[in-house]
Amino acid sequence: MSNLSSLKGYVSCALDCTRLRLVRNAEDLSNDEGCFKPEMAHQIFGESESIFGYRDLKIDVMAAAGPFDLYFDINYSKKVEELHTEGLKADDVEKALADIVEDGCFYTNRDEFKRVLASKADSFRPHGTKVDEFTAQTSPSASRSDGDQQQRPVRTFEVYLSSADDPEYMKFHSRLETFSFFFIDGFSRVEIDPLWLFFTVYERYSIDNNNEASGTRFATIGYVAAYQYYAYPDKIRPRISQVLVLPPFQKLGIATRLIEHTIYEYFSKKEKVSDITFEEPIEAIQHIRSVIDAKRCKTLPAFAKDNLLNGFTKDMLREAKEHFLINPKQCRVVYEILRLGCTDLDDEQQYRAYRIEVKKRLNMNYNKHRRDLAKAKKRGADVTAALCGLPGVAERIESLHAEYKQVEEIYGLVLHKLLLAS
């Protein structure tokens, strides 16, 4: 059998050898400038995000920019089965990719994919009902100009609303979700349930053929999924569970627009909406959300400076919910952000009062866990192992201080954004 050192060259990092690409025309198939890297691959290739059995492995995952038909192009210079390995086999890359395509529909033949691309590019139109349209300028680095605002290209985006009871949209969405495995940690496909709503974003652009306008096309750039949960006694509580804006379209303010305007406008006009929640948002989305909500709550009487310095109140909860559909947990975060902005950090008493209040909130789950263990012990349960696993007082104080410093740093970034926006 080949020794271990000879096999090390047949282990590839999935993040390094995988490239993603959105294809608008046949020329894009060979345009490396349009490629972007995945953020994760453990949901496809395992926790180690490594692939065994190939030398010089290259994986290109391509999608037709509009309808999102998929093409997998897998290349390598040598495969481990070509060596004497006593039955040790290479990982099946194509099967691993096929497993994340819900209906198993993808292409591996370039010419076939080109034909599909040519036949669908002109005719593809967004699914659902149009609910928003906006423009954004590319960043100076992405423009051919010198960064002059007037010369930077303006791009047009449209948002369409669809639901899970639309079978044609769900076929399309199942292909779009394939890219979610590369960018949303813990991602799982949505079930067919009419309570699911999808805000899908498309770029509207014109193509030019020999300097003659040849019509309008649409490219898919991302989506937000929201589930309409029941809220007692007769309301709904929408929960934002998935937000995906593909890398070529990031840093254009699209996620901010969706959260601040599109989704809020839609649900604020619906009857009997209790509030809007988010399902464990990633740090970037939580940051956008906090900036938006803090900017809104600054306009409310309950969040005036004197009220903030006097502590968290029910009026804050009520006004944030009534005016902006902000749920209680997020309202507390907004309060802490705005109070930090009002706190004189050179006034030790004022600053200490703020730190104590935030730490009390951070320590709530720890204290609840201790109380639950105490109750279980009174009922006769053996909680010795659980109690031994709890940190000591000194260790908990140190941990709590570290948590607080991290929270204050994040809040500081939000306040900086608020200052720039004012």
Is there a binding annotation on residue 385?
no
112, 279, 322, 398: the catalytic one is: 279
Sequential DSSP letters for 319-353: HHHHHH-B-HHHHHHHHHHHHHHHS-TT-HHHHHH
Question: Closest by alpha carbon to 200, among 226, 237, 181?
Answer: 226
Phi, psi of 162 (to 5 degrees): -135, 160
What H or E segment, with its residue span, contains residue 230?
strand 212-231
Is there a binding annotation on residue 254?
yes
**Residue 157 CB neighbours (<10 A):** 24
Exposed e or buried b per residue across 246-277, where buried means at least 16 C-beta atoms within 10 angstroms of its C-beta:
bbbbeebebbebbbbebbbebbeeeeebbbbb
Question: Closest by alpha carbon to 238, among 267, 215, 212?
Answer: 267
Active site residue 279: yes
Residue recorded with tokens 């209040």: 357
Is there a binding annotation on residue 253?
yes
Is there a binding annotation on residue 138?
no
**Residue 106 CB neighbours (<10 A):** 20
Is there a binding annotation on residue 252?
yes
Is there a binding annotation on residue 256?
yes
Is there a binding annotation on residue 216?
no
Q: Which two tokens stand for residue 380?
A: 């006769």
Q: Which residues are annotated as a binding site for acetyl-CoA?
A: 250-256
Q: Which residues are annotated as a binding site?
A: 250-256
Which residues are tagged catalytic? 279
